[in-house]
Homo-oligomer: A and B are copies of this chain.
Amino acid sequence: MADLVYQQVITDLNKRIMANEFIDKKLPDERSLSEQYHVSRSSIKRALNVLANQGLIFKKRGSGTFINPLYLKNQSSFKYEGTNLGITDSLNTEGAQPSIQLLDFQVIPASQELQQDLFLAPDEFVYEIKRLRLLDEQPFMIETGYIPIKLVPELNRQIVSGSIFSYVQKTLKAAVTKSFLSISADVSTATDQKLLTLKATEPVGVMGGIFFLDDGTPFEVSNMRLHYKYMKYTTFVSTEQ
Chain A residues at the B interface, C-beta cutoff of 8 Å: 50, 53, 55, 58, 60, 63, 66, 68-70, 73, 75-78, 80, 83-86, 90, 113, 116-117, 119, 177-187, 200-205, 208, 210, 212, 214-216, 218, 228, 231-241
Complex CA gap A66/B213 in Å reads: 13
Contact of A215 among B60, B80, B116, B235 (CB under 8 A): B60
Q: Which residue of B lies closest to A230 (CB)?
A: B184
Contact of A177 among B86, B187, B204, B239 (CB under 8 A): B239
- What number of copies of this chain does the assembly contain? 2
26 contacts between A and B (CB under 8 A): A50-B241, A55-B178, A58-B178, A58-B212, A60-B214, A69-B119, A70-B116, A70-B180, A78-B182, A78-B210, A80-B180, A83-B238, A83-B241, A86-B237, A178-B239, A180-B237, A181-B237, A182-B232, A183-B183, A183-B231, A184-B232, A184-B233, A185-B185, A186-B203, A201-B201, A202-B203
Q: Which residues of B contact A216 (CB under 8 A)?
A: 58, 60, 66, 68
Contact of A179 among B77, B119, B179, B237 (CB under 8 A): B237
